[in-house]
């Protein structure tokens, strides 16, 4: 049976590289980037894989946009289609009671749009909340509150249509606004302290950023702080493993201009908010299939790297292969 943290890393790598495989298919002498940990493809042939979640039994759940399905992938390789008939299924979350939650634009036979759905152990599907614009990431905290990243509510004016907003859905289905004003809001995750970590390009009103940032939000008062970045190109999904390591699926890490081609498999660092920011521009890089340059910013090519700090605070550089 695979380890939880390794599976999350491998599948995030697979998801983030789904477009890379397509774009590089015609390249000569193509090579996959050298990863900082073993990479294994758990499932092939997916059509627009979106978000994933994993339960306490190491069973993985995956949303597939183009087919409108939510899939279940077992450690032995078996695949089961759990939910079908969805339009644009996105974020997934699993409660301590085993209930699977999924965000989707629509469900066949359901009039409401902008849905958060729940599937219980008997396969019964119910609507938890609705009316969200472009619901995307989904996460759950230890109290059973759901957090969903959106572009607002359908009932609201379109004047703030591009303002990314995070809503909380409590166990009784009540919806409240946690934070808003994000540009290009993507996936999110809740850390053990209850803080919401979210990937977004920037906050509205701020100047153009060189890549996206992982923000931390205190759901009690809505305070927003920059945790890591800017520097990620098109971050999509976030996940935390059991030891608090944060995984980000993205096309590129670090300073945008220093990594000119796609090649990031996964970027990870330790989760505490007070840790020194370990990523953009502070690490060496390693070229896939080639030598490791000593300078901070390498020459053009395809690169991959892992950066961050382990649980005891030691700096991890690209030539240090270490598992959490």
> What is the mean predicted confidence (pLDDT) over 10-37?
34
The whole-number average pLDDT for the span 107-133 is: 93
CB neighbour list of residue 42: distance below 8 Å, 6 or more residues apart: 7, 10, 11, 14, 60, 73, 77
170 vs 172: CA distance, rounded Å: 5
- Fold for 4-316, please state it: Neuraminidase (2.120.10)
Residue in the block written with tokens 């990937």: 199
Average pLDDT across the chain, whole number: 68
pLDDT value, residue 89: 93
The pLDDT confidence band at residue 212, using thresholds 50, 70 and 90, is confident
Q: Which of 2-6, 34-38, 101-105, 141-145 has the lowest mean pLDDT?
A: 2-6
Judged against a pLDDT cut of 50, whether residue 155 lies above it is answered with yes
Q: Give me the pLDDT at residue 210, please.
A: 65
Is there a cis peptide before residue 199, judged by omega within 30 degrees of 0? Answer: no
Please tell me the least confidently modeled range out of 80-84, 86-90, 108-112, 155-159: 155-159
pLDDT band at residue 37, thresholds of 50, 70 and 90? low
What average pLDDT does range 109-132 have in this prediction? Answer: 93
Query: What percent helix, strand, coil does the chain show, rounded to 5?
Result: 10, 35, 55
Cα–Cα distance for residue pair 128/211, rounded to 1 Å: 34
Dihedral over Cα of 148, 305, 18, 40: its sign: negative
Interval 215-229: pLDDT, tens: 899 988 889 988 877
Q: Is the dihedral of CA 21, 22, 25, 27 positive or negative?
A: negative
> CB of 66 within 8 A of CB of 105?
no
Query: Residue 36: pLDDT above 80?
Result: no
Task: For residue 313, name the pLDDT band (cuts at 50, 70, 90).
Answer: very low
Mean pLDDT of 166-174: 94
Does 304 have pLDDT greater than 50? no
Q: Is the pLDDT of residue 269 over 70?
A: no
Q: For position 117, what pLDDT does the model report?
A: 96
How far is Cα 267 from Cα 265, in angstroms, rounded to an integer? Answer: 7
Nearest to 213 by CA among 201, 222, 204, 225: 201
pLDDT of residue 132: 94
- Top pLDDT among 195 and 267 is at 195
Q: Where are the domains of the chain?
A: 4-316
Pick from 27-41, 266-280, 298-312 the range whose average pLDDT is largest: 27-41
How far is CA 45 from each of CA 73, 87, 184, rounded to the nearest angstrom?
Answer: 14, 19, 28
pLDDT confidence of residue 167 = 95
Please report which confidence band the pLDDT of residue 19 belongs to, taking 50, 70 and 90 as the band edges.
Answer: very low
Per the model's pLDDT, the better-predicted residue between 299 and 94 turns out to be 94
């Amino acid at each position: 049976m695979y380890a939880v943290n390794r599976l999350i890393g491998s599948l995030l790598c697979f998801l983030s590289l789904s477009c890379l495989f397509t774009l590089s298919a015609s390249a000569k002498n193509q090579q996959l980037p050298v990863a900082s940990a073993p990479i294994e493809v758990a499932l092939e042939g997916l059509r627009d894989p979106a978000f994933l979640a994993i339960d306490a039994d190491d069973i993985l759940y995956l949303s597939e946009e183009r087919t409108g399905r939510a899939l279940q992938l077992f450690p032995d390789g078996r695949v089961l289609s759990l939910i079908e008939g969805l339009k644009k299924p996105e974020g997934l979350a699993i409660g301590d009671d085993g209930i699977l939650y999924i965000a989707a634009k629509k469900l066949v036979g359901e009039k409401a749009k902008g849905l958060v759905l729940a599937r219980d152990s008997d396969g019964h599907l119910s609507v938890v909340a609705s009316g969200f614009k472009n619901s995307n990431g989904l996460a759950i905290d230890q109290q059973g509150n759901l957090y969903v990243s959106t572009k607002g509510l359908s009932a609201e004016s379109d004047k703030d249509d591009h303002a990314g907003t995070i809503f909380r859905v409590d166990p009784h289905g009540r919806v409240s606004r946690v934070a808003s004003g994000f540009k290009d809001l993507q996936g999110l995750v809740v850390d053990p302290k209850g803080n919401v970590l979210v990937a977004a390009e920037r906050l509205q009103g701020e100047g153009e950023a060189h890549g996206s940032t992982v923000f931390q939000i205190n759901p009690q008062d809505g305070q927003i702080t920059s945790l890591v970045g800017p520097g990620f190109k098109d971050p999509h999904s976030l996940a935390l493993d059991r030891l608090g390591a944060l995984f980000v699926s993205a096309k590129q890490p670090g300073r945008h201009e220093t990594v000119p081609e796609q090649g990031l498999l996964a970027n990870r660092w330790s989760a505490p908010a007070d840790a020194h920011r370990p990523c953009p521009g502070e690490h060496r890089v390693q070229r896939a299939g080639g030598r490791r340059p000593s300078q901070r910013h390498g020459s053009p090519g395809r690169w991959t790297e892992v950066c961050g700090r382990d649980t005891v605070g030691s700096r991890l550089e690209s030539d240090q292969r270490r598992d959490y």
